[in-house]
Amino acid sequence: IYPIMHLTRYEEKMLDGEMGEGVQLAMKLLVNLGEMLDAPHLIPISSAHISGVSYKTGGKGLIETLRRFSRGGTRVAVKSTLNPCGLDLFHRVSFSADKEFVKRQMEIVELYEKMGVRTTLSCIPYKDENVPSFGVHISWAESNAVVYANSVLGARTNKEGSISALASAIVGATPYYGMHLLKNRLPKVEVRVDGEVSIWESQVLGAVVGERVGSAVVMFDFKPSFPKERLNRMGAALTAYGDAAMFHLRGITEESRRYGKRIEKEIEERIEVERRELREFTEKVSGDLEEASIFVVGCPHLSVDEMKEVAEEVKGKRVRRGKRFLLFTNRYHLKEAEKNGILKVLKDSSIEVYTDTCMVVSTLPDDAGIYVTDSLKAYFYLPKLSKKEAKAAPLMSIISSALE
């Protein structure tokens, strides 16, 4: 028997169905979840980010669930953004998806839209249309976004599933437990690396440490050679290989900066990761890139700044004959890239730029061959979710292998 969660009068009305069937369903789900996890009450949220959009991963069950939630004109109560789907709806590109897939995918997106969810179809809401401030409670799904919001921004969210994030969006609140409480956000493990760490090395570190510590909150101690906005790559790898909802980077991420040593009292284990380990991991996942036929970048989606860096490297070069180079971003950053000429440079180099979807949740081109990505999260999921043979390597190695 679980303890009974305290509900406000208004929340009780939602639970009793006075605000409609969809709201009642959302409320029931949150109450069950909260009582199971010992949450004393719900906490109001300022935004939601919802995953579970691709027909590839959600299937018919997702459509059925969304139809039930949306019955009677249910609307979300807070700003809510949406993760990538299985197609590029903007450019009308469906890769190897058949007509049935396209139809069902469109219905999923329309159902979300009907409920008032912004169809951003992006996994980097924190870089444009949904940026939470420090300390606010939110209900986000999509693990890379959760880790970024908790760690870099200092907002508070559990690693929600697609349906619990949607339910919270409808109710405007989430069960108060887990990462919403400061005591669960304190680091238990310290991980040190000597010297400067590059973006690629930070991802490798995320993967190595994630495998080792699972869901524990880590206090990293290293000097990044890149701006903190790029820590999303490390967070994506950390949570793919482990299960963490957040990390700290000493003196850089928000809670470490604001609270200093006061949050470090519960560290129980100290790990030193040697550069040799990072090199060995890189060798293991990269191998001979000459064998590759499709190069994929943009997991998490690339921002306009990241596209600019790619454009600077590929300017005047072309993708080699027989190879393809796919880049994934969202519509917001695509427009920015178009405005300042970055998109033209990429296209002139025969790089294919897509929005709304990604290399993991789309059906991908049918072409046989080995995929190479600069993302360890994509490397982790490509064989599992897309049955593709994959390698991973730093962005610059990918560019030099893919372009003439």
The contact set with ligand F3S (CB under 6 A) reads 83-84, 123, 144, 236, 299-301, 328, 358, 360-361, 377-378, 381
Q: Which is nearer to ligand F3S, 54 or 349 (CB)?
A: 54
Quote the least distance from Cβ 52 to ligand F3S, whole Å: 11
Shortest Cβ distance from residue 351 to ligand F3S (Å)? 16
Nearer to ligand F3S (CB atom), residue 76 or residue 361: 361
Output 49 or 250, the one with its CB closest to ligand F3S: 49
Q: How far is the CB of 233 from ligand F3S (least distance, A)?
A: 10
C-beta of 54 vs 139, nearer to ligand F3S? 54
Least distance from ligand F3S to the Cβ atom of residue 327, Å: 11
Q: Are 379 and 285 in contact (CB under 8 A)?
A: yes
Rounded Cα distance, 125 and 144, in Å = 10
Nearer to ligand F3S, 222 or 381 (CB): 381
Distance in Å, CB of 85 to ligand F3S, minimum: 10
Q: In whole angstroms, how close is the CB of 206 to ligand F3S at the nearest point? A: 13
CA–CA dist 89, 130 (Å, integer): 21
Q: Which of 162, 256 has the CB closer to ligand F3S?
A: 162
Q: Give how far Cα 216 sits from Cα of 184, 248, 250, 259, 367, Å.
A: 10, 11, 16, 19, 39
CA dist., res. 156 & res. 41, Å (int): 16
Residue-wise DSSP of 334-383: HHHHHHTTHHHHHHHTT-EEE-S--TTTS------SEEEES-HHHHHHHH
**C-alpha distance from residue 341 to each of 252, 304, 306, 312, 347 (Å):** 32, 11, 14, 11, 10
The partner residues of 391 in beta bridges, in order of sequence, read 372
